Structure 1
Amino acid sequence: MPEIKVKIGSPVGLHARPAGLFVKAAAKHGGSVTIGRPGADPVDARSVLSVLSLTIGHGEEVVLRAEGENADTALAELSQLLVSDLDA
């Protein structure tokens, strides 16, 4: 399963609105997509409650993993979202 490490760019981290936008984008991809802290158990990136439960703040590093036909495309698109200011 391909993976990529990304630092969160949103000044408020992955809370409420940024998490919702990220989850909506993750849900568009057909395969499995997970997010988590390095060395910790990942959660389903298509579940807003799971993503919010991580309480990820600005500048923190996360690991994205994707599985399926378009895994590399999913990782590229989702990582671009995470490094941007999703709260703007």
Structure 2
Amino acid sequence: MPEVRVRVASKVGLHARPAALVARLAAEQPVTVTIRKDGGEPVLAASLLNLMTLGAMHGDEVVLAAEGDGAESSLDKLAALIATDLDS
């Protein structure tokens, strides 16, 4: 299963608006994407509540994973979004 590690760039972490943007993009993907903090349990990236309960703060590393046709492309899109300052 492909995985991508990415640092959270948003100054508020994956909370509120940034989490909503990530959840929306994850829901649009043709595969199911999970996300976890290093060493933690994976949760569905398309769930706003799941993203907020991760407690991923600015600078934390998260791991995205997906399987199936389009997995790598989906992971690249989500990683690029998480690596962007979503506070503006």
- SS where residue 56 of structure 2 aligns? coil
Q: Which runs of 4+ in 1 moved over 2 A?
A: none
> Is there any run of 5+ residues in structure 2 with no aligned partner, and where?
none
Indicate yes or no: 2:48 matched with 1:22.
Answer: no
Identify the residue that residue 31 of structure 2 maps to in structure 1: 31
- SS where residue 41 of structure 2 aligns? coil
% identical equivalent positions: 48
TM-score normalized by the length of structure 1: 0.96
- SS where residue 76 of structure 1 aligns? helix
Identify the residue that residue 45 of structure 1 maps to in structure 2: 45
Indicate yes or no: 2:65 matched with 1:65.
Answer: yes
For residues 53-84 of structure 1, the C-alpha deviation after alignment (integer angstroms, 9 at most, x for no partner) is 11110000000001121000001100000010
The count of aligned residue pairs is 88
The residue type paired with residue 48 of structure 1 is L
TM-score normalized by the length of structure 2: 0.96
Identify the residue that residue 79 of structure 1 maps to in structure 2: 79
Identify the residue that residue 54 of structure 1 maps to in structure 2: 54
For residues 17-62 of structure 1, the C-alpha deviation after alignment (integer angstroms, 9 at most, x for no partner) is 0000000000011211000111211100011001111111000000
Shift of 1:3: 0.2
